[in-house]
Structure 1
């Protein structure tokens, strides 16, 4: 099933659609949520003009068809889907961060940071983005723009996070060479601490041999739906860490037939309450893997508050 041409008004979502096309065979879950994000944002941009309505309806039909034909729990269960997307985005981010800190600057690093930023964007389909994820999202986008600008001007980028706000603010403000929205310099540009941030270690994501030959950046290709697989995405699927000093977050699996038990505290809880509590517990578990007790306690407290009062703090 093919989509109609993307209306000019919806140009802002074209690279999410391209990323989806590139992942159709590599990772259908990533492809599904990239298109879902594109749909939600496209409707916010324009859902009234005839051409945009036609495109949105076709994209909705496409997503419904994929959901019916794919029995992946990551597509049918929001909690599992969020874990899948977080893990994938963080692995792409880890590859770019490792290469950057090792001062191996090339188009693959720019592309990987840029793709990680887009994948972090898609996590908003699951609700409000955590502070750490949002910080890493802004960092990835800024790093992509910064390294790309340096390579274009024949300059050597500075590896890793930059702590001098004046310098990095000037760099981020300078011209938007890649075309995405630049983060606010006042927020600072360093990866978030805790389970959403990775430290340098062995690369877990290996680019293909031809990936550095050409870098397809936003604005270079006007046809979002006809892209050949692999031309706009990271050249290979991230693999699980082999020698990392800290384990990667584990994907969580839940039984879709599960029903909430009766609450002994007399609070009327529904399935959504229990699933949200499970999310908090998942975040706490991930934080414990990185010895981040503060984040773990915060999320466990939120889960307990939700289960005992029915209110999300």
Structure 2
């Protein structure tokens, strides 16, 4: 595995995805499929953040795309239709285990990290569609509880026990003030600093809507409540999925076809046409026949290209294909133009 898939060597603009890449590395031994989709979500966030990147940092994004392509080859992606249910079940199981350990007490940073991991995987579920209300509440609670436990660990005290309520009332009784501790859901943990996993910041908010990443209008909504029989959480066997079923519908619309050329209309005949046509001149007065020269054959593109130019064209074409797999049309178009330029093809304005 490349180091970049562990969150190493990321430019400042891509630091928010480090949490997802680190969690994916921890999840991989339990479920390679969930780890893969965690990296897919990190890649989606990276494309959202690319507008903040410096030009010299763009190769890092391309390296991440290459690493994802290599990672995809080693993951069983055979159950695209149930990928969302598999990832959701994993998130639900993580939350249940963290909450059970928290209620047994005493809660330590191991429990706090479990809540943080649960919130990260719940965030990963956003790539399949809007979160159902119960998962949304658990996401907020997991982040709030992680902050509470992290604060207590920093101050050297035991955290307050969790609310002793059951069912949905657990989340409703907390209230917005408790969930938004210190002004935001992750403020306390973010001020703890450091690169330790125990002080890892909560995951960033989901990416904003992108016109190139919206599902087509005909896409059916995901059925969050329907799960396949025999699906289990982190402790059980997890099936596979396919990137094509991850909900990366492309909203890119092809431009309208060009208008057809105007129909030729012969000029209006004069009202009084001559009753007969003029006789052609005698053959002796005709100019000598000269056949038209054949058109010049088109120049063969790439006939004299260097190996470096061919390699550059192949590389840009590969990046374009990778970008399209993540529905990033602007990056794909940019790399296709670069590939054509490397081949010496004239680009239409």
TM-score if structure 2 supplies the norm length? 0.49
1:121-160 aligned at under 5 Å gives the runs: 121-153=123-155, 154-160=157-163
Query: Against the structure 1 CA distance between its residues 85 and 146, is the aligned structure 2 distance closer, same or farther, given a 3 Å change threshold?
Result: same
- Native 8 Å contact 2:41 2:127 kept in 1: yes
How many angstroms does 1:60 deviate by? 2.1
1:282 partner SS = coil
In the alignment, what sits opposite 1:66? Answer: 71
Q: Find the residue that maps to 1:158 and give its secondary structure.
A: coil
Report the equivalent of 1:45. 49
Q: 1:216 to 1:102 in 2, by over 3 A?
A: closer
Query: Cα gap change, 1:143/1:72 in structure 2, threshold over 3 Å: closer, same or farther?
Result: same
2:226 alignment partner in structure 1: 282
Per-residue CA deviation, residues 201-256 of structure 1 (Å, 9 max, x unaligned), is: xxxxxxxxxxxxx853227xxxxxxxxxxxxxxxxxxxxxxxxxxxxxxxxxxxxx
1:218 aligns with 2:200: yes
- Cα deviation, 1:84-132, whole Å, max 9, x if unaligned, reads 1111111110011112223331111101001100111111111222222
Distance in 2 of aligned mates of 1:62 and 1:100: 37
8 Å contact from structure 1 (residues 90, 116) kept in 2: yes
Q: From the superposition, tell whether residues 130 and 29 of structure 1 become closer, same or farther in structure 2 (CA, over 3 Å).
A: same
Do the aligned partners of 1:73 and 1:81 also contact (CA within 8 Å) in 2? Answer: no
Q: Which has the larger radius of gyration?
A: 2
1:44 to 1:52, Cα distance in 2 relative to 1, 3 A = farther
Contact kept, 8 Å, 1:114 with 1:144, in 2: the verdict is yes
Contact kept? 1:92, 1:112, Cα under 8 Å? yes
Distance 1:281 1:98 in 2: 23
Q: C-alpha deviations, 1:45-103, integer Å up to 9, x for none?
A: 224533443222222222223333433324xx1x3211111111111100111122233
Question: Equivalent of 1:179, from 173, 190, 197?
Answer: 190
Gaps spanning 5+ residues in structure 2: where?
A: 164-169, 202-216, 230-349
Aligned length: 197
Please list the CA deviations of residues 19-54 of structure 1 after superposition, one character each: whole Å capped at 9, or x if unmatched: 122233332112211111111112112245334432
Match of 2:12 among 8, 11, 15: 8
- Conserved 8 A contact 2:109-2:150: yes
CA shift digits 1:233-286 (9 cap, x unpaired) = xxxxxxxxxxxxxxxxxxxxxxxxxxxxxxxxxxxx98x54xx47x3671699x
CA distance in 2, matches of 1:104, 1:148: 13
